[in-house]
Structure formats: structure tokens, C-alpha cells
Amino acid sequence: MGDGYYSVGEFSLDPKWLIDPKLLFVGPKIGEGAHAKVYEGKYKNQNVAIKVHKGETPEEIAKRDARFAREVAMLSRVQHKNLVKFIGACKEPVMVIVTELLLGGTLRKYLLDLRPRCLDTRVAMGFALDIARAMECLHSHGIIHRDLKPENLLLTADRKTVKLADFGLAREESLTEMMTAETGTYRWMAPELYSTVTLRHGEKKHYNHKVDAYSFAIVLWELILNKLPFEGMSNLQAAYAAAFKNVRPSADDLPGDLPSIVTSCWEEDPNARPNFTQIIQMLLHYLSTISPPEPVIPARIFTSENAILPPESPGTSSLMAKRDDAGETPKTAMDGKPRGLFFCFDQCC
């Protein structure tokens, strides 16, 4: 693609983004997906997240190399306050991508911990605007994310800001004719990403940036109602229902103008879906219609037995260090001395 980023055989990286592995120290694993493991670590005394791409068979290695090159290219090209901050990468001795460490965990974990309660509507709208602005930035650079879902949205330690992560499936829009439908997670994927043929044979299908608007609608629906979309269905059942029966989650319980916003974003016809600049305007308009919070009664009128804990009480602060591991409770320290990159990967990869 001109700058060499998309060539599997040759990978080029601007020297300013090149990580020195000798200065990279790796701590506990904080997450794992289908294609990579993520560790907490330090680089030049900065706390970072270290993503290690997986691949063993020749086919997996080829896909890994392409995914790594693609993600580095995207991350190094686009900066925004709602995109995870890229720090650097290296290909040897192993392929790693280093980004800022966000201690708030994933949006998925945050919502699961909150159930059966829901987010305050204003908080949910703030998160939705964070996501929409990140997507607007990507689309302005001609990049389609293709994998927008709560697992790829990370919270800052104060749980006030959401940032979009995981560019492993992102593509330049000019390359859509070469994209396969077997990417992303079906529950959040736009129907045009697959058909009967693509579900069975992995054939290629053309699509555009409006696939991200569909995924955003599903995420927005979750933010407001805090339920799993297409509950009771497997991922493939949800995909079949959405694509071939035009089934969508019920928008009946959404407040105010949100039903029209959500349903416009998950329209069957991609051309009928709004772009993210329009989505942001719709969200801001809805936010302006929500009545301001009730005034808080001054705490001094309460007796000590009824004192209200401040927002930054120890109970709240203790949640901030939680990690997003599936089963194990991660360590809070790095077992004393930090370990070097080579040593760590001998031990834990």
C-alpha cells in the first residue's frame, strides 16, 4: 500500500514507533482473545499494555503477520482522545504492539458487573459519544473498524471515558472488495457482511463504512438497556435472524428519541444508515432534551449515621484496579522485579 505496512513479506515501521525490547518489561496477563494475548507491563517507566500476536501453523503465521502490520499501520496513523494511544511496536524477537494501559477494563466487563442495573442515561450517552467520535475519526481517515463491540471498548481508570481498541480487523475502505465476511463477532456484525454462501464457504463480499454504524446501534442498545443483544440465540443464530429475517433487538424500551436513532443505525439498507457525524448530532440533540439531574441536598443536613460517601470513596477506588481476565484474579504487582521481554515470553507464552 505504498508505505509497506500492508505487505506481509515486507514490514516497514517508522523508526519513531520502534520499541526497544530491552526496555520493555512484561507483567501479568490481563486479557486474551482469539488472535492475541495482552499483558500489563512497563516501557521506559511508563505503565503500558503489551499485545502479543499468536500464530503457530504457517497459515496462522501468515494471517498474524498481516494482522500485525495492519494494526500497527492504523494505530500509528490515527490519534484521537477516544482511540487507545499507540506507543510503539517491534517485530523481533516476537511481534508486540505497545499501547497505553487503561485500568478501567472493558465495557463488556463493566456492564456485566452492573447487571441487572443499568447505566445512568447521561453516563450511557457520554460513552456513546466517546465511541461515535472515535468512529468519526477513523472514518475520516478512510478506515473501517469492522469489530466494534463492548470487548473492544476500554474504560479509563476513573470510568469516565471510553476508548476504542483492537485494530486487528480494521481495513482501509478502498480494500473492502478483498475483505472476507468471517471477521468480527456475528452478534454485532452488519447483515451485509455475510450471506448464506459466506456463512458456509467464507466467500468474499463487498461492503463499506456503514457496517460500523450497524455495530454502533447494537452497542448503543446495550449501553442503555444493559442486556445481551439477541439473548437466547447463539452468535450464528443471531446472524441468521438479522440477515435473513431482518430481526433486530426490541427498541420498545428505549427512552425518548433513542428508538429512532438506534433503528436508523441498524437499517437493513446500509445507505439508509447515518454517518457518524450525523449520529453525533443526533446523540447531542437527545442529550439536550434530558432534564438535568435533581439538585443534591447539601450533605450537612444529614446526621453522621446518614452521611453519604463521596464519589471517590475507597469502595469506588478499589474497583479501578480490576482487570478484565476471564477467570483468574490478576496480580496487582509484577512479582517484585520486572522481567525482561525474552525471559517473560519463555515463561508465559
Distance (Å, rounded) from C-alpha 268 to C-alpha 203? 20
Which helix (H) or strand (E) element contains residue 90?
A: strand 86-90
pLDDT of residue 201: 52
**204-238 tens-digit pLDDT:** 556 889 999 999 999 999 999 999 999 999 888 99
- Greater model confidence, 170 or 47: 47
Specify whether 31 is located in the same domain as 46.
yes
Confidence of residue 182 (pLDDT cuts 50, 70, 90): very low
Specify whether 128 is located in the same domain as 223.
yes
In a domain, 129, yes or no: yes
Q: Name which of 195-199, 220-224, 326-330 the model is least confident about.
A: 326-330
Specify whether 175 is located in the same domain as 72.
no
The three grid cell numbers given for residue 236, joined into one nine-digit string: 450464528
Burial per residue of 266-298, b for 16 or more beta-carbon CB atoms within 10 angstroms, e otherwise: bbeebeebbebebbbebbeebeeeeeeeeeeee
| Cβ count near 116 (within 10 Å) | 6
What's the whole-number mean pLDDT along residues 121-145? 96
Instruction: List, in sequence order, every beta strand (DSSP E) within 184-250.
Output: none
Q: Considering the candidates 65, 147, 166, 212, report the single residue annotated as catalytic.
A: 147
| Cβ count near 336 (within 10 Å) | 6
Instruction: Evaluate if residue 297 carries a pLDDT over 90.
Output: no
Domain's final residue, options 236, 265, 289: 289
Distance (Å, rounded) from C-alpha 67 to C-alpha 181? 15
Specify whether 96 is located in the same domain as 243.
no
Phi first, then psi: give them for residue 293, nearest 5 degrees. -60, 150
Domain encompassing residue 264: 107-289
**151-180 tens-digit pLDDT:** 999 999 999 999 998 865 656 554 443 344
- Greater model confidence, 241 or 295: 241
Q: What angle do CA 128, 132, 137 make, to 5 degrees?
A: 150
What's the whole-number mean pLDDT along residues 280-307? 69
- Greater model confidence, 231 or 302: 231
What's the whole-number mean pLDDT along residues 320-345? 44
Q: What angle do CA 299, 304, 310 make, to 5 degrees?
A: 50
Domain's final residue, options 289, 314, 336: 289
Specify whether 164 is located in the same domain as 264.
yes
Number of domains in the chain: 2
The closest of 148, 136, 139, 72 to 107, measured between CA atoms, is 148
Instruction: Evaluate if residue 103 carries a pLDDT over 80.
Output: yes
**29-46 tens-digit pLDDT:** 988 877 789 999 999 989
Instruction: Evaluate if residue 142 carries a pLDDT over 60.
Output: yes
Specify whether 91 is located in the same domain as 112.
no
The closest of 181, 215, 185, 187 to 200, measured between CA atoms, is 181
Task: Give the CATH number of the domain where residue 232 resides.
Answer: 1.10.510.10
What's the whole-number mean pLDDT along residues 320-324? 41
- Greater model confidence, 156 or 349: 156
Diameter over CA atoms, the chain: 70
End-to-end CA distance of the chain: 32
pTM of the prediction?
0.76
Q: For the chain, what percent of residues have pLDDT higher than 90?
A: 52
Distance (Å, rounded) from C-alpha 228 to C-alpha 284? 25
Q: What angle do CA 187, 189, 190 make, to 5 degrees?
A: 130
Integer angstrom CA distances of residue 94 from 61, 193, 248, 342: 12, 32, 42, 9
Domain's final residue, options 44, 72, 101: 101
**5-23 tens-digit pLDDT:** 333 334 577 889 999 999 9
Specify whether 69 is located in the same domain as 178.
no
Distance (Å, rounded) from C-alpha 134 to C-alpha 124? 16
**53-101 tens-digit pLDDT:** 887 788 888 888 888 888 898 889 899 999 999 999 998 888 999 999 9
Specify whether 24 is located in the same domain as 157.
no
* 109 has binding-site annotation: no
Q: Name which of 241-250, 279-288, 339-348 the model is least confident about.
A: 339-348
In a domain, 342, yes or no: no
The reply to whether 147 belongs to the active site is yes
Q: How many residues does this entry show for the chain? A: 349
pLDDT of residue 169: 60
Ramachandran assignment for 195, one of left (phi > 0), alpha (psi -120 to 50 degrees), beta (any other): beta
Q: Chain centroid to CA 274: how far?
A: 21
Instruction: Evaluate if residue 300 carries a pLDDT over 60.
Output: no
Q: What angle do CA 323, 182, 54 make, to 5 degrees?
A: 45
pLDDT of residue 346: 43
- Greater model confidence, 307 or 210: 210
